[in-house]
Amino acid sequence: MNDGFQAKFNARQRSGASESDRPEWRGRFPRNEIISLLDVNRPFNLAESTSQDLTLGELLDLAGLDQIRSLKLGYGTSAGSSALREAIAEGCNVPAEQIITTQGTALGLFLLAFEVCRSGDDAVLATPCFPPSRDCLVGAGVSVCEVKLSFENGYGLDLDQIAASLSPKTKLVSIASPQNPSGIQTSRADVEKLLALMEKRSPQAILFIDETYREAAYGDDAVIESFAAMDPRIVTGASVSKALGAPGLRTGWLTVPDADLRARLTVAKMNTVISGSVLDETLAVALLRNRQGVLSARRQLLAGALQQLALWCESEHGRVEWVRPDAGALCCVRLRSDAFDEAAVSRFWDRLPGHDLQLACGTWFGESSRVFRLGFGYLPSARLGPALSALSSVMDAVTA
């Protein structure tokens, strides 16, 4: 990253401004600085929310890939390969015919919003959220009503706020469980209450639940059951990117119970990306069929990393506060207002690059710049401690 771009990036990050706030930005999709994570990877990267990246060698060592050299690189099928949909369906406890594969979860949500919503329709979105979860709705031309969840309430789903936002014009309600950036899960009881509210106030609405981090549990913690089979109004989305550490495969999916909607989404997929990559899908099949062995090792690493982070948060309790996550390699940390005034918050973001540190600013997700998403599963365990120490050094420097 050159110095000029770095200076502009730092200024936007600490102010919370994005390119879409500037008159010259003319894109149909809002620009969000989370795009920088694709281009910048500092030695102490605490911004990523994925588990450690799986290597191609590790993937090729999995059972089921002996004949990959004979794979023909033609077009894939419209809904995704049958083997991949069967492997996904097993984890979601739904029939394979209800699965549509997509290039990541974000594409799935975009296609869902583009197909379900029409001019004059609304979407209700729980925030803070993964930026493309909001921006793809905007790009699809949907009117977005944001329901802001709070740090003080542990990012619990606010059903009263959601109820007040629902109307007959609402065609899509979008939440995540576990959430990004907080890692907080939504209970089945709350989803049942939400469905009841939708039935009363928005009877034509679909409930989308992003389950990308669902299988990223800690140690021997139980993995929550997918919401995919809970109700025909629910569409879920997930991918191999986060818990399994394979974002480079660009393989995600939607579970779609309604046959008519499923057919429309398949046509929408064909008209945007034609089909998935047969190579990516073949590798993803092997990964999903071996998911338990891959996930078991990663869950142990996540449990150790979470404990390390918890000890750091306790040692820094006078300067930061956090919401302990339920699952996923991510959580929200906040700079305490009694330790950092606004000028100190600005200095905090300015000092990070000089300490080889990278964090995901809360403003990217719809939070304040006092909040940051801290990814604790991406770095090897031997580097997490030094990264947290470097973060303490930054706070020392800006509060001195």
CATH 3.40.30.10 fits 3-55+293-399, yes or no: no
Would 3-55+293-399 and 65-290 be classified into the same CATH topology?
no
- Residue 380's φ and ψ, nearest 5 degrees, are -55, 150
Measured at the CA of 390, the angle between CA 384 and CA 392, to 5 degrees, comes to 105
**What is the CATH number assigned to the segment(s) 65-290?**
3.40.640.10
Query: Is residue 25 very low, low, confident or very high in pLDDT (cuts 50, 70, 90)?
Result: confident
Please report the pLDDT score of residue 24 as a whole number.
Answer: 82
Annotated domain spans of the chain: 3-55+293-399, 65-290
Please report the pLDDT score of residue 22 as a whole number.
Answer: 53
pTM of the model: 0.93
What confidence tens digit (pLDDT) does each residue in 187-245 have? 999 999 999 999 999 999 999 999 999 999 999 999 999 999 999 999 999 999 999 99
Please report the pLDDT score of residue 298 as a whole number.
Answer: 96
Please provide the size of the chain in residues: 400
pLDDT-wise least confident of 133-142, 232-241, 304-313, 314-323: 133-142
Residue 15 has pLDDT above 50, yes or no: no
- Residue 180's φ and ψ, nearest 5 degrees, are -115, 115
Task: Copy the structure tokens of residue 279.
Answer: 């190579």
What confidence tens digit (pLDDT) does each residue in 87-141 have? 999 999 999 999 999 999 989 999 999 999 988 899 999 999 999 999 999 999 9
Q: Counting Cβ atoms within 10 Å, is residue 304 exposed (0-12), middle (13-18) or buried (19+)?
A: middle
